[in-house]
Structure 1
Amino acid sequence: MPPKKRNTQQRGEGDGEEPFQAVILADTYDDQFLPISNEMPRCLMPLCNIPLIEYTLEALAITDVQEVFIVCTTHIDKIKEYFEQSSWLQPHSPLSVQIVQSPEAMSVGDAMRELDARQLITNDFILTFGDLVSNIKLDKIMETHRARKKTDKHSIMTMVLKEAARIHTSRAKDDSSVFVLDPNNNQCLFYEPVQALPRKARIEVSPEVFENHAQFEFRNDLVDPFLDICSVEVPALFTENFDWQKLRSDFVHGILTSDILGKRIYTEIISEPYVARIQNEQLYSTVSNHVLNRWVFPIVPETNLHQNDNYQFLRGNIYNASDVILSRSCIIDENVQIGSGSVIGENSRIANSVIGRNCSIGDNIVLDGAYIWDNVTIFANSVVTRSILANNVTLMDNTTVRDGCIISTDVTLGPDEDVPKYSRLSLQPQPKTSIFADDSDEEEEAKDQPVLSNNNHPDVYFWTERGGDDDDVDIRNINLGSLAYDMADLKINDGELSDSASEVGEVSDDEDDHSDNDIAGSFGAGWDTQGASKLAEFKKEVAQTIERSLTEKHTVDETSLEITGLRMAHNGTYDQVREVMIPMLLDHVDVSKNAVGNMRAMLEKWSPVISKGLEDQVHVLRIFQRHCAETDALSKLFVGILQILYNEDIVEEESVLRWYASDASKNGSSAEVKLRERAAKFVDWLQEAEEESSDDDEDSD
């Protein structure tokens, strides 16, 4: 529950400085978490069974803040109802919380202009969103902000940024930011958002940015939680500039590039405190795991932020409410939280999951990476992996929900339903336009939406990711930020160029030519000595990335994302990546003992990035043939490798047959030809199996 009210002298009133105000934007003005966010406020979505806005208010309650304004645009009645029943509006609350209704706001800029019009901001204030999760104490940062204002009257904002390595889990996969800072005083000189795709090859910075600054540094290792200390004039600046809609790309970028305004923005870079924003579904899962793993201490489940909670902390990061009922045969693995009143049935297994209050989990259930909200019922023999089930969802017997699904409130599925990966399901059809679209756009229901129909419960509609109204939004970035997205499913064309493409010529559109000697074809007619040098540099960087991933045991997703970035920056192709990656993976396998088992484990792990389409698979087999022919140990395993690739669905039957019949497989070195001959029996078996299958189909007809 919220901390007890403290003496006002502790809030800074004794030294003549007025306490800070705070502004929480309850809406993020985007289309993340659809369709759930269409039916309930994002700031009230539970993370580890606590509404997100509770984490934000807790962070403010331990600072020099007196008034908090919660600006609401959508679901206003639900937010008001929540706070009327909470302790934050009670007389003993440490904060004075006020709900500011702004139903006409379509952006952060509109919300700030509404605050300015009402003249609610009378002092320096903290600006953040209602999805901040942090254990940071802002007092020293606020003091620094105030002290800086006394020496620099043009200072209007301090952005709190968190240091994080490129592969740190708290970094969003879909975008990042480049900051140019003065290391002497942390002044922000330049800012530019950088989306993951398409890869940006260069950033243009005006030389005037560096005037009067002897030193500067480019930083791309900073996580931006959108936690800012602002001066009272910030809302007025939004009013004066009606084209500013977004907080970073419009306001911050506009301030830093304006010669007229003459304002300055500073940064405060932290390393130890935990601070993160649930800006997308990927970070929802990540931060949930961080809370369960106690990274946000003292904000942990047994703190019992919810008034009626009573969690017990057990070994393995297991948190059970006091009245949970667990069957004797159920298995609770590590990193699990189970809310009050929930029941777990016989032979069910739960791992890396959060279960809400009053949930009924039946017999023989598997939950892995599942986020089950309140009052959910799951009947026997069902499976949920890496997905969100919102309040009051029901899964009937034998229902499977695969990775990356979001099931909105009150949906019933099954029995015997298999929900495909990345499905977004709701009882409501998806509107054509965003709830944050202009009023002139009619909000119509999409026609011909696919539905799941069942006579025993209402139809369920499929929703799709939406890039919003911004034409510059690449839907692939939306995918990257979605829940449990597999990098192997990301579609990136080899012909997609970055800004530096002109330096190496046009990328060939001919994806069918995988000749080992046609390196120039992948760079087009403009390939020359410079192109060869760039290709060698690209392959070297890919090799270094793979080596680092194997040594430091990175996940396949992390490695794939790094390789994607390299490929886009160098205009490389998947073929060139595989020519480097596959030999390195083969050489990494220990073939001195249990060679087949070790090889199978490696191929299973890396299969998402080894092959994609049919032509890719033929090329993959050619690389395996060529590299295995170079060493006796691998040559003896070649036929076994072929069988593993086929059995694990890494390559298809047709790919094996096309590889075997290709001139490339026949015209290699003598060692390569011998390997092809060894594979003859396996190929014959495939052909016989295909013929038998065809005969069976004819008989059935």
Structure 2
Amino acid sequence: MAPKVKKQKEIVKDERLQAIVLTDSFETRFMPLTSVKPRCLLPLANVPLIEYTLEFLAKAGVDEVYLMCCSHADQISEYIENSKWNKPWSPFKIQTIMTLESRSVGDAMRDLDNRGLITGDFLLVSGDVVTNIQFDKVLEQHKLLKSQDRDHIATMVLTKASALHRTRSHSEPATFILDSKTNKCLYYQDIPPVNGKKSSISIDPEFLENVDEFIVRNDLIDCHVDICSPHVPAIFQENFDYQYLRRDFVKGILSSDILKKSIYAYITDEYYAARVESWQTYDAISQDILARWCYPIVPDSNFLENHTYSYENEHIYKEDNVVLAQSCKIGSCVAIGSNTSIGDGTIIENSVIGRNCKIGKNIYIKNSYIWENSTIEDSCNIEYSIIASNSNIGENSKLNKGSVIGFNVKIDHDQKIDENIRISSSKVQNLDKSFITSEDEEEVDDDDDDDEDENSFDYEIVGENGTGYIYESEDSDYDDDASTKPVNSLMYQMFELTLSDDSIVSQSQIKHKKKRSYSTTSIATDYGEENFEKEALETLARALENNHDLDTALLELNTLRMSMNVTYHEVRYATSTALLTRVKEFIGTDTLNNKEAVEKIFRQWGSLFKRQIFDEEDQIDLLQTLNQVINDLGLEKQTLLYILTILYDVETLEEELILKWWKDNEIDNEYVAKFIEWLEEAEEDDSDDE
């Protein structure tokens, strides 16, 4: 009988439903707030974001939950340890996994694969999802598809919505091309905003071979809820250049002639599903919760054990011990936390007020979010703004549309905060700073204190008695066509902020050579970059000397990059230096002349760059890097011309970006100038032909 019992236990183990929660967004759109607290713990309708995700998993019948934690991992771990999800009666077992070196979804998935935690198909979900989807239907469909298609490795959950639906991501709209009969995904393309102009996609007809009928969908909300097979983490492990879940992994799978795997979509319009991925969606989902569009996800469900919200007419929610003056006016779609007081003559509309807040007299608050322990003094005007916990707004101050007041900020009286200003209580020196772990925070805070002693607060903004600094993103605000902007909510008023910061991955790719960068385990230092350069040059020298294949060289480079936590700029710099050093050796020993040496090296090894550039800024950076290294090594100016012709010929560099790089930079190279003239003439000829 013993073998039979053992077999039964194995079957039960295989049927466990596991969930992987990516608690880190690997983005900086909520800076400077996320320099203090991780996005998944920011309050949405006075409930930490992670709670909505965990409630969904509980209703989905998940048995085991693994939280992949990177930024502020200690805060997440402490929160879970003290939450109801860690109690003996929790519906699932929960564990926090410290993946401190991860800088993207791809890194987290590779870490997951290394740990060997996955036993079967699992649910992959972001820690900022709000949904009431009936998951058993999704799982049933996934199992059916898997029985019919042995190559099926993932099912994406998508919900139907109009193009301008407020919970759709305006920052990363996407197009899915699906088999109209099976919803098998044939092609995926994210379409960045183009200043109100029409967008288009280009697809290889081979993707649509053997398909009777397909449909193009750009009316879908993708909240990143996926059912994945155990093959998914392994594929990330095999492809180190996969960083994003959709634009790298999904697109890579669909376009691969080698993997031959299938991805399907489960589309529904019966349920609510959205991600809090931007200021826009933060406001939209908050308003949907207040308006009960995502029932039973409403404040009076009281997800937290100590919450006591009750529902009143016109979508007003109040906790116990709320003190309201007789002459104050509470409009529709308002939630107010316990121990909060609101003074005479104050008007509040479409807003959320946290616990223990003091709202004075004659204040007007509209479409704003005031977090716990904050104070708003008399006669203030606050519209379309966010005020983080423990902040103080002095009397007679005005916060214009798009204001974000960080934790512990103090605004003096009679201050006017202009539109789209973000203020933090301490200087946030670098976008990557949100990835510093708790062990390093004390040291960073000490540095900030020193800076604050030397550099006073931005008094022209916060006032003479105020405390705070303006947070300035390294990216310029997105200049959108005014005709596409919404007009009656925070997402419309803060549309520029939605796109002012991009993914940490792309941010790190455009940093310059000696610019300091922060890792998750160390304070800013150039040691990692210098050490990486030395190791990378030795690795590439061996590859060139022994004629290794490209994939082996790429794997070794990516392993070095991850282990030393450097940016892709450093990888491109090291690759350029290694290849051009080899060119210089051929020339110096009279083995080959300049053109022959470049032809030999870059025809064979130039493809390395294709796995190191991911967007237009990366191409520009590569051009700058090549020009810099050629000058540093004392090579002839013709060298750059020879390299450009090769990289242009193999489609590593795009014509329009070469022209843009030349136009924006004063490059002293008459040989390249002739190549640019040729490109411009070719472009004019194409225009004439059209």
| Same fold, TM-score > 0.5, yes or no | yes
- Cα 1:448–1:177, aligned 2, differ >3 Å: closer, same or farther? farther
1:310 to 289, 308, 311: 308
1:85 to 66, 82, 86: 82
- Cα 1:422–1:73, aligned 2, differ >3 Å: closer, same or farther? same
Q: Deviations over 1:163-219 (max 9, x none)?
A: 101122222223310100001111000000011125464311001101111111111
1:451 aligns with 2:458: yes
Q: Partner of 1:284 in structure 2? A: 282
- Asked if the contact 2:72–2:435 (Cα under 8 Å) also holds between the matched residues in 1, the reply is no
Q: Deviations over 1:433-480 (max 9, x none)?
A: 4247899xxx9989989813678756311112444xxxxx98447998
1:64 CA displacement: 2.9
For the residue of structure 2 that corresponds to 1:329, the secondary structure is: coil
Q: Partner of 2:218 in structure 1? A: 220
- Cα 1:150–1:264, aligned 2, differ >3 Å: closer, same or farther? same
**In structure 2, what residue type is equivalent to 1:242?**
F
Distance 1:262 1:351 in 2: 53
Q: Partner of 2:417 in structure 1? A: 419
Distance 1:297 1:384 in 2: 29
- Cα 1:105–1:357, aligned 2, differ >3 Å: closer, same or farther? same
Q: How do residues 14-93 of structure 1 correspond to structure 2 at under 5 angstroms?
A: 18-93=15-90
Q: How do residues 3-22 of structure 1 correspond to structure 2 at under 5 angstroms?
A: 18-22=15-19
For the residue of structure 2 that corresponds to 1:166, the secondary structure is: coil
1:486 CA displacement: 4.0
Q: Partner of 1:394 in structure 2? A: 392
1:151 CA displacement: 2.1
- Cα 1:184–1:238, aligned 2, differ >3 Å: closer, same or farther? same
- Asked if the contact 1:59–1:137 (Cα under 8 Å) also holds between the matched residues in 2, the reply is no
**Between Structure 1 and Structure 2, how many residues are aligned?**
481
**In structure 2, what residue type is equivalent to 1:106?**
R
Distance 1:430 1:450 in 2: 13
Distance 1:72 1:115 in 2: 11
1:13 CA displacement: 11
- Cα 1:489–1:47, aligned 2, differ >3 Å: closer, same or farther? closer
Distance 2:435 2:125 in 1: 23
Q: Partner of 2:566 in structure 1? A: none
For the residue of structure 1 that corresponds to 2:85, the secondary structure is: helix
For the residue of structure 2 that corresponds to 1:295, the secondary structure is: coil
Q: Partner of 1:229 in structure 2? A: 227
- Asked if the contact 2:14–2:120 (Cα under 8 Å) also holds between the matched residues in 1, the reply is no
Q: Partner of 1:462 in structure 2? A: 470
1:163 to 126, 146, 160: 160
Structure label with greater radius of gyration: 1
Q: TM-score, normalised by structure 2?
A: 0.65
- Asked if the contact 1:27–1:43 (Cα under 8 Å) also holds between the matched residues in 2, the reply is yes
- Cα 1:226–1:476, aligned 2, differ >3 Å: closer, same or farther? farther
Q: Partner of 1:580 in structure 2? A: none
- Asked if the contact 1:145–1:158 (Cα under 8 Å) also holds between the matched residues in 2, the reply is yes
1:299 CA displacement: 1.1
Distance 2:312 2:52 in 1: 23
- Cα 1:326–1:437, aligned 2, differ >3 Å: closer, same or farther? closer
Q: Partner of 1:108 in structure 2? A: 105
- Asked if the contact 1:466–1:475 (Cα under 8 Å) also holds between the matched residues in 2, the reply is no
For the residue of structure 2 that corresponds to 1:316, the secondary structure is: helix
Q: Partner of 1:184 in structure 2? A: 181
**In structure 2, what residue type is equivalent to 1:460?**
G
Q: Partner of 2:562 in structure 1? A: none
Distance 2:463 2:383 in 1: 26
For the residue of structure 1 that corresponds to 2:332, the secondary structure is: coil
**In structure 1, what residue type is equivalent to 2:320?**
S
Q: TM-score, normalised by structure 1?
A: 0.64
**In structure 2, what residue type is equivalent to 1:185?**
T
**In structure 2, what residue type is equivalent to 1:150?**
S
Q: Partner of 1:687 in structure 2? A: none
1:53 CA displacement: 0.6
For the residue of structure 1 that corresponds to 2:66, the secondary structure is: strand
Q: Partner of 1:697 in structure 2? A: none
1:429 CA displacement: 1.1
Distance 1:173 1:119 in 2: 36
Q: Partner of 1:172 in structure 2? A: 169
Distance 2:385 2:150 in 1: 49
1:273 aligns with 2:271: yes
- Segments of 5+ residues of structure 2 without an aligned counterpart are 1-8, 438-443, 498-655, 657-683
Q: Deviations over 1:216-265 (max 9, x none)?
A: 11111111111111111111110011010111110011001000011110
Q: Partner of 1:595 in structure 2? A: none
- Cα 1:368–1:265, aligned 2, differ >3 Å: closer, same or farther? same
- Segments of 5+ residues of structure 1 without an aligned counterpart are 1-11, 468-472, 491-501, 503-524, 532-701
My pick for the range that moved more, 197-206 or 100-109, is 197-206
My pick for the range that moved more, 147-156 or 403-412, is 147-156
Q: Deviations over 1:338-394 (max 9, x none)?
A: 001110111111000000011110111111011011111111111111111111011
Q: Deviations over 1:286-311 (max 9, x none)?
A: 00000000001011111111111111
